[in-house]
Every structure is written in structure tokens, then in C-alpha cells.
Structure 1
Amino acid sequence: MSGIGVIFDCDGTLVDSMGAWHEVDRTLAAEAGIALTKADADAITTMSLPEASAYLHEQCGLGASSEDVLAMIFERMRAFYANEVEARPGALAFVQGLHARGVPMAVASSTPPDMLACCIERCGFAPYMKAVVSVDDLGTSKREPAVYDHARSFLGTDRAHTWGFEDAAYALDTLRAAGFRTGAIYDNDISGSWDALVARAELLIPTWEDLTAEAFLDKVRA
């Protein structure tokens, strides 16, 4: 379908991994005798990994340094991506359906590149993506549209004809402000409550099993 492109977030959108990300902070903190508050969790959700590591060290007292915290997180999450992560139900079928209909796709994620590549390969998405990019490639975060524009450059589409699918409310704010089309899938209230996603997305689904590629493209054509 000429002129239409789709950019997917990875964690919480294509794959079931946000629980592991939320838990790794709490687990590492608990092992050090530190209890994270809801305010801590809310703050960390919008941060890049270096920012979150600095926050956990400086504000919560975890680790000998922010670099130490980052290394601990990486060790736990690399093992998770290599051995445990799974695609969200229906996600691969949706991606395959778009690919069969000629829709170019990419992944734009806040996950470090090595973990991201491992995850996309393990869960079967790699053959269908024009690009898999991380905010780390650009030294930015999803509070800015740069990572989406970088992914879009591989699709040959403009912002107005490129859909971004996210589970995080703050990332949808970025997409919408930049003029992208916005799709959302609910994952958890930390990333974005149902009401928060409704307020930000043109299209919201509970699971990928609730949307076929054909139904999505019918909406795009409407």
C-alpha cells in the first residue's frame, strides 16, 4: 500500500516485556534494601536507561554509581531477552499481514541496540522490518521525535502517512505533536492507562488479536 508506513515500539507493544523492565528496578532496589515509590516508578517510565540509572543511584541510593546501576540492569535484561521474552499474542500475525500487503515497517525503541536486536530476532519480527532503531543510536529519548524520524527514513513515508504504535502515553504525545498518525495498544497503567491512551491515540486496541492487518488498512483508507 504505497505511501503508508508503520513504526512499532518494541517493549509492551510488540513484545511482553514491560513487566520485566518494571520488576528489574524494584528487584535490584529490594535486594539493596530500598523500596521504590509510585512516584519513582512514574518518573523512571519516561527516562532513557542512563537517565533511569542515574535517578536510581542519585535519588534512591542504589549502587556505587549510576554506571554500576546500568550494568546491573543490563545483566538482568540481557538474560531475559536471550531466554524468556515472547511476542504479544497476535503481534507477529499482524506484522506478517501488513508485510503481505506491502506496508513498510520499522521498530523504534528505547531499548539498547544489542538487546533490541536479540529481542526482535527471537520473537520473529526481524524479517519483516526495514529497520530496527534505538534511541541510543541517536543519543536521544522518545520525548523527542528524532528516533521516529530516523525509523521513518527507511520507510520512504512522510509523517502524515506514518503510523506509530505505542503503549506509552508520553511517547504518543511525542508522535502526535510531530504530526504522525497514532495507534496504541494497552499494556499496563504505568506505561499508560486506558483513559490516557484513549485521549492520545486515533486507534486503541486491548490486544493485537483485536486487530487484523486488513481491518487496520480499511481504517487507514477511510
Structure 2
Amino acid sequence: MRKYRHAIFDMDGTIMDSMPVWKNLGKDYLIKKGIKVPENLNEVISAMSMTESANYFRKELKIMDYPEQIISDMNQLIRDKYRYEIPLKPYVKEYLSYLQKNNIIMCVATATPVQLAELALKRLEVLQYFSFIVCCDEVGSGKSKPDIYYLALKKMKASITDTIVYEDADYAIRTAKNAGFYTIGVYDEYACKPKKEIQLLCDRYIDSFECLLELGDL
């Protein structure tokens, strides 16, 4: 694996433990508004967009704010979480330091807006390990298409054959793998698919970055 000289890291669920923020967003919003949280809230809104969730809150929970205001308030909650609260996953900083010492060029490819990503990574003191951050908005598509990985390659002046992609989500792993990348799947408690299914998709699977540190490997 020493041939790999470049690394593309997903952020949410891979190096940052941020998925609970999205999972609990509706609940946190209602608590802040002083509204009782329905027991089945996450089950009801998990597949909804923010706009759909806002309309649900208005119709079912009698929130009088316009949908645009509800969405704005939820976005502010998310910004505050990234700015002040979301932690790194265990051993991430140590692993990034290890890669840097081995002259691996690294970047972040994320669906999160770049400004939010920078705020969080700077607060967590790992921004300096990455050459740049690319966001799905820059390519106009999510990780069901490989465009964001190709953009990262171009900016790193790298090739697919010497680049590793680290992801937690099954669809992103599948996309990167189908594009020809070596993929490392990272366990996340909130992954949409069972661990066994994700293990079958990637070239290598880790429960924690500690595994790679112990092996002294990429």
C-alpha cells in the first residue's frame, strides 16, 4: 500500500462524529422552540427534506413560522453545532499526523458547505493537515456521482491509482470504488446500511483509525 501518495477524506461520519447532529436536528429544533417532541419524530422525518420537515412541523405541530424561517432556524442550529460542538472521531488527529509525516497529500471531499467544514476542522485543530476542501456544491452533484472525487484529483494533481478514498456511506464507497479508487470504509454508528453490507463494498474496512495506526499502514 506504500504506492498510495494521496488521500481523499469524507468528513461527516468518517473523520467527524457529526451524524447525530443531522439525526437529531428535528428534535433539537423542537426543544429549542419549547415544543414537546413526538416519540416517533425521527422515524417520521428521517426521509424528509428540510422543506418537507418544515411543512410537517407547521401542519402537525402547529408551528406558525413560515417554512423559510423554520429552515433558517434549523440551519443556524447546524452552524452552531459545527462551530462549537461536533467532535473528531477517535484517533483521527493521530492518523492524519502519521500520514503527513509520511508525505501523504490529503484533502477533504464533503457535502457540507466549505465554510462550515473549515470552521469545524480549524476548531478541531486538523485543518492544517489538508491541502484543500472540496464540496459537492462545487460540482453540482452528490456522491452518487464521482465528480467530487475527480475534482479532488485534479486539484491534487494526482491519479486514481495512487489515491485512497475514505468514506463511511455505502453509496459513496460504491461510487468511488466503481470509479477505480482504492476505498477504505469507516464504521459509523449512524450508517444507513448494515456494517456487513458496507464491508462487502470497500477494499478495506476499519472500525476505528486506531486499526491503521497499530498496523503502521495507510
Counterparts of 1:69 and 1:111, CA distance in 2: 19
Instruction: Give the TM-score of the pair, scaled to structure 2.
Output: 0.83
**What do the CA deviations read for 1:63-82 (whole angstroms, capped 9, x no partner)?**
733x4444222200111111
**Offset at 1:20?**
1.3
Shift of 1:91: 0.4
- Contact (CA 8 Å) 2:24, 2:42: kept in 1 or not? no
| TM-score using structure 1 length | 0.81
- 2:117 aligned partner: 116
In the TM superposition, residue 162 of structure 1 has moved relative to its aligned partner by 1.5
Q: Secondary structure at the match of 1:212?
A: helix
- The aligned residue for residue 212 of structure 1 is 213
Structure with higher Rg: it is: 2
Q: How many corresponding residue pairs?
A: 207
3-state SS of 2:201 partner = coil
In the alignment, what sits opposite 1:64? 66
1:95-134 correspondence to structure 2 within 5 Å: 95-134=96-135
Q: Percent identity?
A: 24
Quick one: which amino acid aligns to residue 64 of structure 1? Y
Provide the residue aligned with 1:185 in structure 2. Answer: 186
8 Å contact from structure 2 (residues 168, 191) kept in 1: no
Whether the 8 Å contact between 2:4 and 2:161 is mirrored in structure 1 is no
Instruction: Name the structure 1 match of 2:195.
Output: 194
Counterparts of 1:181 and 1:70 in 2: how far apart (Å)?
38
Matches within 5 A, 1:27-42: 27-28=28-29, 31=35, 35-36=40-41, 38=43, 40-41=45-46
Change (3 A) 1:160 1:127: same
Partner Cα separation in structure 1 for residue 178 and residue 16 of structure 2: 25
Measured in 1, the distance between the counterparts of 2:143 and 2:70 equals 21
Q: Distance in 1 between matches of 2:157 and 2:215?
A: 21
Partner SS, residue 188 of structure 2: coil
Match of 2:50 among 53, 78, 82: 53
| Stretches of structure 1 lacking an aligned partner (at least 5 in a row) | 45-51, 218-222
**Cα pair distance change 1:213/1:92, threshold 3 Å:** farther
From the superposition, tell whether residues 134 and 70 of structure 1 become closer, same or farther in structure 2 (CA, over 3 Å).
farther
Q: Which amino acid aligns with 2:189?
A: N
What is the DSSP-based 3-state SS (H/G/I as helix, E as strand, rest coil) of the residue aligned with 1:184? strand
SS in 2 for 1:133: strand
Change over 3 Å in CA distance of 1:3–1:15 after alignment to 2: closer
The aligned counterpart of 2:168 is 167
Give the root-mean-square deviation of aligned CA atoms: 2.5
Q: Is the 8 A contact 2:15 2:88 kept in 1?
A: yes
Q: CA deviation at 1:37?
A: 5.3
